[in-house]
Amino acid sequence: MKKRPADLAINGGPPAFAETLHVGRPNIGDRARFLERAAAILDRRWLTNDGEMVRAFEREVAAACGVPHVVAVCNGTMALALACRALGLTGEVIVPSFTFPATAHVLEWHGLVPVFCDVDPATHTLDPDRVEELLSDRTSAILGVHLWGRACDVERLARLAVGHRLALLFDAAHAFACHTDGVPVASLGDAAALSFHATKIVNTFEGGAIATHDAALAARLRRLRNSGFAGIDRVDGVGLNAKMTEVSAAMGLTSLESLEVFLEANRTNYAAYASHLDGLPGIRLVDTGTSRAYVVVEVNQEVSGISRDHLVEILWAENVRARRYFHPGCHRQAPYAERYPDAAARLPVTERLAEQVLVLPTGTAVTPGDVGAICSIVRVAVEERQR
Ligand code: T4K
């Protein structure tokens, strides 16, 4: 039966979902295969430090990303941090503000200056025209984010990078299993930092990796992730402990075996969202990366009559934990807000997106029936404002 405004949980009705629906509920894959692998790890008594599971995981990820070298690490943040160090970045780095804080934090952590750049309204990725305006003689790199798995305008960014002798690094945390014109998104640039966090399409509980075509860069990354060790008792520079554990890699390998199932679930859910939200005024479903791991809508209050934030309240009351990624933008968070008080003026698209973007649940824990129920809540909320 069609919901009426009075039926909404925010108005006193029962919540649509007895169990909370989350954005980023992990895909689990074949439990038996995972437990088999975990048992083999215990039998071998080899738990971490470049073990055979990690090496197998690196080979599989390299094949999926279409690159010769993949260095697995303990999370996506460390993948970015090691890549910044291995590429020898200095001074200023151009980066979007509309991203997870880790992207900016790794720059800050290295003593680099994040120069926040606006994004394209259609793709939510770096706008190359705005990048060009921000280049200075202190710029050493462009750090683009393939947000929602959607590739940046790599061709134009690469032209700028070559022309100005800059490194071109990508935060590909969302982009595993995404393609652009048939090419894996994670194969682009000097290096791409992936995340295999629990919430990602393929997970290693916590995990990350750097994908690159550059053998020398990969060798530096391997030393950086292992306390600078270049041989059994030879350290040839500063390093950290950023190693991936065997049990994480076992989860990753198991996850990869079910990737097609995960992709199918995402694509089915995305198509269901597209059909249920079709024609709803002021609600735009964003064309995310080909893995469809993210379902992102923009809520235009002027047209829909409802603010994104009120819609979030309505959904949370129904036990749908929609998320306001990446509100309010890095430039409005510490320590950047105080340091760059004028940044908002040059980030109009970021400012709008931070107020309008809503991320909805998908993945194998969400069924097309759930999507229908979520969309009927959105529809009732919007249609009430249209009357
Ligand atoms: N760059 C970008 C563009 C990123 O988006 C990220 C991370 C990174 C870099 C850094 O990569 P990592 O160092 O994290 O590998 C979550 C994830 O923790 C984070 O990995 C991810 N991006 C970000 C977009 O989402 P939060 O703060 O929203 O996490 P949390 O705990 O609120 O979880 C998200 C949802 O998932 C919740 O609704 C609960 C659900 N969930 C979560 C976990 C961990 C589960 O159902 N089960 C779980 O085990 O950041």
What digits encode the pLDDT tens for the residues 213-222? 999 999 999 9
What pLDDT is attached to residue 1?
61
As a whole number, the mean pLDDT across the chain is: 97
- Tokens, residue 150: 């959607």
Question: What SS3 state is found at 240?
Answer: coil
- Ligand 1 touching residue 73 (CB < 6 A): no
Decide: helix, strand or coil at residue 14.
coil
DSSP string, 41-78: HHHHT--SSS-HHHHHHHHHHHHHHT-SEEEEES-HHH
Q: Measured from the CB, is residue 250 less than 6 Å from ligand 1?
A: no
Share of the chain residues as helix, strand and coil, in percent rounded to the nearest 5: 45, 15, 40
User: What integer is the mean pLDDT of 39-53?
Assistant: 97
| Rounded Cα distance, 57 and 51, in Å | 10
* Token pair recorded at residue 187: 């194969």
Q: Report which protein residue has its CA nearest ligand 1's atom 5.
A: 100
* pTM, 2 dp: 0.98
Question: What does the alpha-carbon distance between residue 93 and residue 110 come to, in Å, rounded to a whole number?
Answer: 11
What integer pLDDT is reported at residue 2 of this predicted model? 72
β-pairing, 69-73 vs 92-96, is unpaired
Q: Kindly tell me if the per-residue pLDDT of 159 is higher than 90.
A: yes
Q: Is the peptide bond before 328 cis (omega within 30 degrees of 0)?
A: yes
| CA separation for the pair 72, 55 (Å, rounded) | 8
In the chain, the N- to C-terminal Cα span, in Å, equals 20
Q: How far is the CA of 24 from the centre of ligand 1 (A)?
A: 7
Q: How far apart are CA 386 and CA 104, in angstroms?
A: 39
The pick from 75, 100, 202, 288 for probing ligand 1's pocket by mutation, whose C-beta has the most ligand atoms within 8 angstroms, reads: 100
Proportion of the chain above pLDDT 90, given as a percent: 97
- Residues 20 and 7: their CA atoms lie apart, in Å, by 18
